[in-house]
Amino acid sequence: MGKLRIGVLASGGGTNLQAIIDACAAGDIAGEVVVVISDMPDARALERARKKNIPAIVIPTKGLKREEHEKLVHEALMKANAELVVLAGYMRIITPWLVGKYEGRMMNIHPAQLPAFGGSGMYGEKVHKAVLDHGCKVSGCTVHFVSTDVDGGPIILQEPVYVLESDTPESLANRIHPVEHRLYTKAIALYAAGKLKIEGRRVRIML
């Protein structure tokens, strides 16, 4: 069995991308990142990819309808023979068309305990602010398969992070980030090892 070919979609700094690249290099994931695609030409994720000689592709959205843009993304993923698509800070909602192309083969990570604080408009600092505004004592992150329901796909892994009385959205995010990196790479490693099985809304981990 060869290495899992991973395609990454990213819009920002790419810290989760870096964690995935490092985990592949260390042998913690039986896979390799074969392409990084961004809708933002200045995304640092592209720089991280180029430093590791990974093809880094910019597909701007200007002048394109969502479906037109996604067809170009799909073409780039197909050209790279990507088997698993990983969203790493990708700031676009995936349409049902592209979700359908990668059903059960597209992952995302969300900086909260889904199904709480998910859905359209809930991303980044907005999530952490909502958690604090609601007086939650626990937050964390969730890795899930992508479905047509935003942040509503089958959950693969979750890990809690306790909220401190002194927390700000920024401080909470800073403590969740390293957990995201660890959890995301673990989920991808399980997928690469063929240990994830989707049964309806449940993901069973076959150990």
Pick the closest to residue 85 from 102, 66, 110, 60 (CA basis).
102
Sheet containing strand 84-87, edge to edge, reads 56-58, 31-38, 4-9, 84-87, 106-110, 138-145, 155-162, 202-205, 196-199
Q: Which of 69, 74, 110, 181 is catalytic?
A: 110
For the question of residue 110 being annotated catalytic, the response is: yes
Pick the closest to residue 37 from 46, 29, 28 (CA basis).
46
Q: Please answer whether residues 95 and 70 qualify as being in contact, where contact means their C-beta atoms are separated by less than 8 angstroms.
A: yes
In the numeric block, which tokens belong to residue 54?
A: 């990974």
Looking at the annotation, which residues are catalytic?
110
